[in-house]
């Protein structure tokens, strides 16, 4: 993730909107990602939709790394390539964790 892009985009928003978006995105990066992981391993075909949601949320907040990785996994699942999706999972987890930490340690306001 380019934390600067994410922080620059957030800085353009009113404080209340910014905080709501951050809370929603942190939910996608935390519990949301945990749910994707469980679905990916148990019912891979059903993981495409939450990955699509994650990709959209990440793109909206200019978190290009997470968006690109989530799209890649979603595409693999839609094409029936579960092995590729599982192989890409650790990179998505790492990028999401990096973004989560960057958001939690951001300077408010």
**pLDDT (tens digit per residue) in 22-71:** 889 999 899 889 989 999 999 998 999 999 999 999 998 889 999 999 99
Six-digit token string for 27: 């939910």
pTM attached to this predicted model: 0.85
pLDDT of residue 107: 46
Q: CATH number of the domain at 60, please.
A: 1.20.120
Query: Are the CB atoms for 50 and 35 separated by under 8 Å?
Result: yes
* CA–CA gap between residue 104 and residue 30 (Å, rounded): 12
Which residue is it, tokens 């408010």? Answer: 108
Q: Is residue 72 part of a domain?
A: yes
Q: Is residue 109 part of a domain?
A: no
Q: Is residue 54 part of a domain?
A: yes
Range of the domain at 37: 3-104
């Amino acid at each position: 993730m380019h934390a600067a892009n994410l922080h620059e985009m957030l800085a353009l928003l009113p404080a209340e909107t910014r905080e709501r978006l951050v809370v929603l995105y942190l939910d996608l990066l935390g519990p949301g990602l945990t749910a994707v992981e469980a679905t990916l391993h148990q019912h891979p075909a059903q993981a495409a939709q939450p990955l699509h949601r994650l990709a959209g949320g990440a793109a909206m907040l200019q978190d290009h790394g997470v968006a690109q990785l989530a799209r890649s996994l979603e595409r693999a699942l839609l094409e029936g390539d579960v092995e590729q999706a599982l192989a890409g999972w650790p990179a998505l987890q790492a990028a999401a964790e990096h973004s989560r930490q960057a958001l939690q340690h951001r300077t408010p306001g």
